[in-house]
Amino acid sequence: MTDRTDDRWDDGLIARRAATGADGNADGAPGADLDGDPDETGALARAVSGAGSPAPAPVPAPSPENQALRVRLDALRQLVGLSRTRLDGKTLAEAGRVLDEAAARRGLSPRHTVVAIAGATGSGKSTLFNALAGVQISETGLRRPTTSAPIACSWTDGAAGLLDRLEIPGRLRRRPRDGGDRDDAMNGLVLIDLPDHDSALTTHREHVERVLALVDAVIWVVDPEKYADAVLHERYLRPLSGHAEITFVVLNQIDRLPGEAADLVLDDLRRLLDEDGMALGEHGEPGATVLGLSALTGEGVPELRELLGQFTQERGAATRRISADVDRAALRLRPLYVADGHPEISERSRAEFEDRLAEAVGAHAAGLAAERAWRRNAGRACGTPWLRLWRWYDDKRTPQLLRRSAPEPEQPAEDEVTARQRVEQAVRTVADDAASGLPEPWALAVRETAVRGAEQLPEALDELAVTAGVPAGKPPRPAWWPAAVLAQASMTLLQIYGGLWLVGQIAGVLEPRLMPPVLLMVAGIVGGPLVEWMCTVAARGPARRYGQEAERRLRQAAAGCGRARVLEPVAAELLRYQEVREQFATVARLSTTGR
């Protein structure tokens, strides 16, 4: 390889300008952003050389394409941050690499376009590299492989940072031959000659894959013999089909094809690229550029130079490359963020969950117990004295020891097991409903959140059953109870008065008149149960409402406990998914309602 001193280029830009007193050229200096931010290198060179400082040039406004890319990168960064605790690092590695490489590229010269020339052994890529540079830079010959390391050729200064990023040493950096005005369109172009992608040496293939992941555009050089090579299409062109706008596919050595054979091979090459999924830039549509040429004879090389000049002066290759990388990362992440489910807990699922918790805590049974307690209290207050006396006597007659030694029923233990199973079933049901249709990582996160929240839920419901179940003490008495008690007392007094009157007549103390005392006694005896029955009928409504209120309180308490421990954490997880879904929609340029 020619290694002349005048061909070497180490890009000692500031030092050379300081030594010669040259005016700083801000075009392409490191440190600029892809949005066209001003560069400080020229100002620094002028300060060192003592040259005058002209008025600063106006900063161009960022293009819509750059603004859209910045929004997508910000969304991707937030997406990765929100997903770190839900997805493993290996899954997010590609997105992280895209962010790192985008930040690195956006921090370097926006005025340079780095284009790599890649191809198989014997395709003539080094010959094309030299033809474009106008000088023998890369070795060509029959020895294979000829190119062992990437070689760079830059038409303008200020690309040192870009080449450092590509790890191309200074001894492999060259300048093209001065071609006069015809090279003005090439200003800003950095051309890289890569080793053979099908080289037998592993280091050569590693160089190719490393540089291809960093350059702004690629020229794939194929020949009539290997243009359909499966390795080229399956390993490189097909995975990079989304990068069509920054891809050139050049059929070299067309001078070896007779007649119309070159056109036939080009048509077949376009067919293969279409099968790879790569859009072709024909009829004004954006896509890959396909053309035929002969680097050896020069046929078609001026057309490629012209296309490269236009491509370079647009200064949009880096933005398109990063945007295509984001597209590819979004395509790989799509199954993890996009599914048919809606991130919400349906009202039906909420209602069924609360019903199951109420059933587990025994809300209905507690309401019935409260209703019975209310009726029992009403019976004691409004019942006949003789019935209450009998109940008192029956309680006294039953031995205390017998009541204490009565075996505890085994049903509460079974109820406890059943209640726990009901709670677990309720949690599983609501978690499955919330996770239905979500991507697998987020569905798993929703289920895990529900299970964590339900770990102490059965114990909390047991405590609620004690504290918020049947109210302690006697139920409240309605306003008509005193009147019922007074009526019942009156019936009792009638019985007593009629009985005493009858006894007085039997004893001869009173005048014998049998009918009045008998009627009084009958009225008291019939009136007492009648008053009690009327009170029982009147007590049904208040007792039912009292039981329903007790059931409602317990249901609300159980539902509140379930919401705090299960539903709210699950809803927060769904809200997190919705947020990352919106961020992914921005990254993938989808509508938020798109599937």
Reduced to 3 states (helix: H, G, I; strand: E, B; else coil), residue 142 is coil
Statement: residue 478 has pLDDT above 90: no
Residues 6+ positions from 367 with CB-CB distance below 8 Å: 547, 548, 550, 551, 552, 554
Least confident of 90-99, 474-483, 517-526: 474-483
* Selection from 593, 478, 492 nearest residue 542 by Cα: 478
Taking the complete model, does pTM exceed 0.75, yes or no?
Answer: no
pLDDT digits (tens, 9 = 90+) for 403-446: 444 444 444 444 555 777 888 888 888 898 888 888 988 899 99
* Selection from 245, 262, 212, 244 nearest residue 101 by Cα: 212
Widest Cα–Cα separation across the chain: 156
Give the pLDDT of residue 526.
Answer: 77
Q: Tell me, which fold does domain 112-315 have in CATH?
A: Rossmann fold (3.40.50)
Statement: residue 35 has pLDDT above 50: no
Statement: residue 273 has pLDDT above 90: yes
Give the pLDDT of residue 381.
Answer: 65
Statement: residue 162 has pLDDT above 80: yes
Average pLDDT for 101-124: 93
Average pLDDT for 122-147: 75
| Strand ranges, E, within 527-592 | none
Domain residues of the chain, as ranges? 112-315, 347-394+412-587
Q: Say if residues 427 and 346 touch (Cβ distance below 8 Å).
A: no
Report residue 352 as tokens: 């069924």
- Which percentage of the chain shows pLDDT scores above 90? 35
- Which percentage of the chain shows pLDDT scores above 70? 77
Least confident of 168-172, 182-186, 212-216: 182-186
Average pLDDT for 517-532: 77
Asked if the peptide bond before residue 478 counts as cis, ω within 30 degrees of 0, the response is no
How sure is the predictor about 388, in pLDDT bands with cuts at 50, 70 and 90? Answer: low
* Selection from 493, 492, 542 nearest residue 387 by Cα: 492
Helices (H), 21-173: 41-49, 64-83, 89-106, 125-133, 160-165
In whole angstroms, give the CA distance from residue 154 to residue 353.
Answer: 68
Give the pLDDT of residue 469.
Answer: 59
Q: Which amino acid, residue 172?
A: L
* Selection from 192, 258, 197, 188 nearest residue 222 by Cα: 197
CB count, 10 Å around CB of 425? Answer: 12
Statement: residue 244 has pLDDT above 60: yes
How sure is the predictor about 454, in pLDDT bands with cuts at 50, 70 and 90? Answer: confident
